[in-house]
């Protein structure tokens, strides 16, 4: 059967060969037509903004549009402006440092939880706890912001109640910038650990049980099995996911920052990131020149990082790279 269709296909291909691109396209016009909606949408929302990157080199006027606006003079004017901004420097620094913190802590939590869940033999317990840890992934950052507010607000927050009952002074979290890298890390872990664990857990459950059996016959303890079998087998997955996360280190999760911090300027010294900076420049202060220059730098660096990390990922393990 298989061979027959294979042969049939080869013949069909040979027959159409040399009929030209146009002929091939006409023959598949239904398929092209079916691709048209997605092609149009991607063009409008992905390709046009790409072309729109030139805004960074323009003196953008809303009425003139992207291509009608004059070039900035000097051409790098927007970038000069950006480079002289303390806030922009702070945003870049915060983006990289916070993301590095998120990646490191995330790795520990996700791999840790996956390894622990893998040790659980009680199916019911495993299923219930996995459902519970996965639950926060389903709610929006806005709601997480409400939860955080519930815990940390000055008057009625649960954390402050506990602090007070222990005899200490309550903390006004929303004016303590220094605490927020940790609060954000915790919030992010709370929200996505269950989700992030799934891929590691999938990798672990696909491990051939005979490895563990052989090891336990040789007298390896559970701990040793984890250390010498589970973790080494997870290593490729860990490497790839970490590399890809590093590739996105210039991009912050706008939702998280905006929902948790909002317009609380007191917290900006440690929490303002490129995404929130660009958003504010664009929507609040109307500073399109600055916003577009910052966005341009972010896009270019992000692009290089994605390509670079993917290149390394592919070197490490051919199948794991995205492309």
Partner 1 sequence: MPLKKYTFGQACIVAMISLFSLACLFPFIMVISGSLSTENDIVTHGYSLIPRHVTFDSYRILILGSNRIVDAYVISAIVTAVGTVLSLIVTSMGAYAMARRSFRYRNVLSIYAIITILFNGGLVPWYIICVRYLELKDTMWAMILPPLANAFNMFLIRNFMMSMPEDLHESAKMDGAGEFRIYAQLIIPLSTPVLATIGLFVSLGYWNDWFLGLMFVDKQELQPLQLLLRTLISNVEFLRSSSNSMDIQRIAMQLPSESIKMALTVVTIGPIIFLYPFLQRYFVKGLMVGAVKG
Residue ranges in 156-195 that form contacts with partner 1 under rule CB under 8 A: 156-158, 160-161, 174, 190, 193-195
Residue 303, H or E segment: helix 288-316
Among 227, 263, 286, 308, binds partner 1 (CB under 8 A): 263
Among 3, 14, 22, 38, binds partner 1 (CB under 8 A): 38
Q: What is the DSSP letter of 71?
A: E
Q: What is the DSSP letter of 70?
A: E
Distance CA(238)–CA(322), nearest Å, equals 15
Candidates 80-88, 96-104, 150-158, 207-215; binding stretch for partner 1 (CB under 8 A): 150-158
Distance CA(96)–CA(191), nearest Å, equals 21
Residue among 145, 192, 193 at smallest CA distance from 173: 145
Interaction mask 218-257, partner 1, x per CB under 8 A: ---xxx------------------------------xx--
Candidates 21-29, 82-90, 91-99, 100-108; binding stretch for partner 1 (CB under 8 A): 21-29
Is 304 among the residues that bind partner 1 (CB under 8 A)?
no
Candidates 82-90, 100-108, 207-215, 296-304; binding stretch for partner 1 (CB under 8 A): 296-304
Among 7, 11, 26, 31, binds partner 1 (CB under 8 A): 31
Residue among 91, 93, 77, 50 at smallest CA distance from 288: 77
Alpha-carbon separation of residue 313 from 88, 236, 297, 301, 306 (angstroms): 31, 9, 24, 18, 10
Scanning residues 91 to 120, which ones bind partner 1 (CB under 8 A)? Answer: 113, 116-117, 119-120
Q: Per-residue b/e over 291-312, b at no fewer than 16 CB within 10 Å?
A: bbbbbbbbbeebeebbeebbee
Output 81 or 134, the one with its CB closest to partner 1.
Answer: 134
Q: How many residues bind partner 1 (CB under 8 A)?
A: 106
């Amino acid at each position: 059967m298989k061979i027959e269709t294979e042969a049939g296909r080869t013949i069909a291909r040979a027959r159409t060969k040399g009929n030209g691109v146009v002929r091939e396209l006409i023959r598949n016009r239904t398929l092209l037509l079916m691709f048209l909606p997605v092609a149009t949408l991607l063009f409008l929302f992905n390709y046009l903004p790409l072309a729109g990157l030139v805004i960074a080199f323009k003196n953008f006027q809303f009425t003139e549009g992207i291509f009608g606006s004059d070039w900035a003079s000097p051409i790098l004017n927007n970038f000069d402006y950006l480079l002289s901004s303390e806030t922009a420097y702070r945003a870049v620094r915060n983006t990289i440092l916070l993301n590095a913190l998120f990646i490191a802590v995330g790795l520990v939590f996700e791999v840790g939880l996956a390894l622990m869940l893998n040790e659980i033999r009680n199916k019911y317990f495993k299923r219930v706890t996995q459902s519970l840890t996965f639950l926060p992934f389903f709610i929006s950052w806005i709601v997480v912001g409400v939860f955080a507010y519930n815990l940390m607000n000055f008057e009625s927050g649960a954390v402050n109640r506990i602090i007070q009952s222990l005899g200490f002074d309550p903390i006004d979290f929303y004016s303590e910038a220094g605490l927020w890298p940790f609060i954000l890390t915790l919030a992010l872990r709370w929200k996505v650990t269950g989700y992030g664990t799934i891929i590691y857990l999938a990798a672990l459950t696909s491990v051939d049980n005979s490895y563990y059996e052989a090891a336990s016959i040789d007298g390896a303890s559970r701990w040793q099995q984890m250390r010498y079998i589970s973790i080494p087998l997870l290593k490729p997955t860990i490497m790839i996911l970490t590399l890809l996360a590093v590739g996105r280190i210039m991009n912050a999760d706008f939702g998280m920052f905006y929902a948790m911090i909002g317009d609380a300027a007191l917290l900006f010294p440690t929490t303002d990131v490129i995404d929130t900076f660009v958003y504010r420049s664009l929507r609040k202060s109307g500073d399109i020149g600055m916003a577009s220059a910052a966005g341009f730098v972010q896009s270019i660096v992000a692009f290089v990082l994605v390509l670079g990390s993917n290149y390394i990922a592919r070197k490490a393990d051919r199948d794991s790279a995205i492309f």
